[in-house]
């Protein structure tokens, strides 16, 4: 790597060098760690629960994260403010009006079965670390109540 840097013009080396020693903010690093940890824990939990049907793991993860975001109210009865506010964190939804957000959430409901892995990760990424902790508590509580 060091030899490769020497082949670059000095101006480019200086620009790249400025990024090498720059740390990311602690809050961002903690958020990334929380995302990775929660993603791994959730997938492992659902792999254990749905081991007889592994192809359905992300379908259930998406279903349950939407249940969590919509405060355990079926989406056919409408979208809760909590769900809308979380989804509005996405840069494409940030400045959308209420009707546009509802239309997009309807599209998410319709596509939920086609790409569950991405939909789960996007939804998980919009949560903050505290909300991810609450999500895992929801997953664990829900799963415990269904296995008794």
**What pLDDT, in 10s, does the model give residues 32-83?**
999 999 999 999 999 999 899 988 899 899 999 999 999 999 989 999 999 9
The domain of 128 spans: 25-147
Instruction: Identify how many contiguous H helices and E strands the chain contains and give both numbers.
Output: 8, 0
In this structure, what token pair is assigned to residue 91? 């840069």
Residue 17 token pair? 């060098």
Q: Is 50 exceeded by the pLDDT of residue 148?
A: no
Residue 13 lies in a domain: no
- Residue 1 covered by a domain: no
pTM of this prediction? Answer: 0.79
**Does residue 146 register a pLDDT over 90?**
no
Q: In the chain, how many domains are there?
A: 1
């Amino acid at each position: 790597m060091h030899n490769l840097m020497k082949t670059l013009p000095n101006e480019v080396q200086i620009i790249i060098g400025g990024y090498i020693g720059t740390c990311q903010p602690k809050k961002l690093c903690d958020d990334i760690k929380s995302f990775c940890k929660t993603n791994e824990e959730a997938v492992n939990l659902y792999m254990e629960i749905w081991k007889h049907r592994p192809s359905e793991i992300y379908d259930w993860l998406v279903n349950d994260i939407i249940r969590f975001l919509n405060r355990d109210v079926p989406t056919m009865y409408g979208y809760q403010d909590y769900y809308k506010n979380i989804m509005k964190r996405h840069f494409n939804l940030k400045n959308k009006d209420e009707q546009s957000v509802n239309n997009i959430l309807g599209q998410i409901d319709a596509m939920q079965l086609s790409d569950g892995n991405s939909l789960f990760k996007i939804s998980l990424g919009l949560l903050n670390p505290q909300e991810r902790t609450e999500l895992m508590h929801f997953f664990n509580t829900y799963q415990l109540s269904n296995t008794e």
